[in-house]
Amino acid sequence: MADMLDVATREASERLKAKVQRLFGHSLHIRHVDAGSCNACESEIKLLLNPYYDIQRLGIFFTTSPRHADLLLVTGPVTRAMEDPLRQTYEAMPDPRLVVAVGACACSGGIFGPSAFSQGGIESVLPVDIFIPGCPPSPLTLIHGLLLALGRVEQRMQGGTRRIRVSRPLSVITPSAQEKEVQG
């Protein structure tokens, strides 16, 4: 039952995404929001405009006002102070709108979250359409992500489970290092 419902919602979202891709297919306007990144991601995003990458040749532009934006490009783990501004920016955007998480921090919180100071990834604040991993993602990765949002390139990453048959006996797992750290 549950996964059926999941399927249904996924289909709906796929349909919306298809529509968005039809609409934005050849021109996309981006509003970027820094939700607490170390400025490496910003640096890379800015470099998208330099002659080496020049994403404007792909019909992708950065806009000043979210009112003109189709896509919200978010970096950083969403610090407490940036949560409301981020929400506001998203609210200020017209439908339909895409959200792209840039960098490990935005995708999952990276090394920063969730903690007392940050949400740990923008998924906990906004619905995310595209994840661009990396710390920071290189400009090419960014371009791939943006074009993926537009449905102009194929997705290469596929998750899943692979099963290895091992003859050796399994032994007990020692708890991973991190749990120890957490109690600081």
State the minimum distance, in angstroms, from the CB of residue 146 to another protein.
Answer: 8
Contact between residue 77 and residue 112 where contact means Cβ atoms under 8 Å apart: yes
* Backbone dihedral angles phi then psi of residue 136, each to the nearest 5 degrees: -85, 160
Cα–Cα distance measured from residue 130 to residue 61, given in angstroms and rounded to the nearest whole number: 18
Work out which of 60, 122, 125, 128 binds another protein, going by CB under 8 A: 128
Q: Is 184 in the site for another protein (CB under 8 A)?
A: yes
Least separation in angstroms between CB 5 and another protein? 17
| Min separation Cβ 149 and another protein, Å | 8
Neighbours of 129 (CB within 10 A): 19
Q: Please, which residue, 1 or 174, has the CB nearer to another protein?
A: 174
Of the candidate residues 1, 2, 4, 173, the single one contacting another protein (CB under 8 A):
173
The correct pick among 1, 4, 5, 171 for binding another protein (CB under 8 A) is 171
Biggest CA–CA distance in the chain, Å, is: 60
Site string for another protein, 78-117 (x = CB under 8 A): -xxxx-xxx-xx-xx-xxx-------x--xxxxxx-xxxx
Give me the least distance between CB of 147 and another protein, in Å please: 6
Give the shortest CB-94-to-another protein separation in angstroms.
7
Residue 6: in which H helix or E strand, if any?
Answer: helix 2-24
State how far the Cα of 173 lies from the Cα of 168, in Å rounded to an integer: 14
CA distance 147 to 24: 11
Which 52-71 residues touch another protein, going by CB under 8 A?
A: 52-54, 57, 62, 64-67
Can you tell me whether residue 48 is helix, strand or coil?
Answer: coil
